[in-house]
A = this chain, B = another copy of it.
């Protein structure tokens, strides 16, 4: 149950057994059905999730209720509505289980408590933030420099599991193109 999470942490920071046990003690399991919404709109992000099994999508809502997917979180990913988690603002990014999903979560309070208590956790969070920043930056860059076909090819190369595992509809949304456009460009490759 906690093995994947343990591995994830120990691969990133040098942590003693004692520290690791302390950290893990704050994580609680949570099982979600397919399409279940995780966390409620209007509130701030109160938890950070680790995906043991299954898949989440994090998205925000454009005008007229149109969903825009920001990222997916598969097995062995951490995920939260990070802007809200950082600022304590009400959620503008929603999280939904795409498949039946098994999570471990830590509350925002406990997370921040650990940051103050364990320098190694602060380091772990630093690493998380750095990666999140880099990913965001590359994604922004892909929108600015690449057309739809090039973005699709890049996704296929960098994250083939997204294309293989998820329906076209979600892939198109993530690439910020219409389903129709994705269908057409795939037939031309």
Interface residues of A (CB under 8 A from B): 60, 62-63, 68, 70, 82-83, 86-87, 115, 119, 122-123, 125-126, 129-130, 132-134, 136-141, 143-145, 176
Cross-chain contact B68 with A145 (CB below 8 angstroms) = yes
Cross-chain contact A140 with B136 (CB below 8 angstroms) = yes
What's the Cα separation between A144 and B129 when bound, in Å? 22
Query: Of B63, B136, B144, B176, which one neighbours A133 at CB under 8 angstroms?
Result: B136
**CB-defined A-B contacts under 8 Å, sample of 5:** A82-B137, A119-B122, A126-B129, A136-B140, A143-B143
Give the chain B neighbours of A115 by CB distance below 8 A: 126
Query: Of B86, B119, B134, B138, which one neighbours A130 at CB under 8 angstroms?
Result: B86
Main secondary structure of the interface of A (DSSP, over half): helix
Query: Of B83, B86, B130, B144, which one neighbours A68 at CB under 8 angstroms?
Result: B144
Query: Of B62, B139, B145, which one neighbours A140 at CB under 8 angstroms?
Result: B139
What's the Cα separation between A99 and B60 when bound, in Å? 38
Closest to A115 in B: B126
Chain B nearest CB from A80 CB (Å) reads 12
Closest to A128 in B: B129
What's the Cα separation between A134 and B169 when bound, in Å? 27
Give the chain B neighbours of A68 by CB distance below 8 A: 144-145
What's the Cα separation between A108 and B81 when bound, in Å? 30
Chain B nearest CB from A170 CB (Å) reads 15
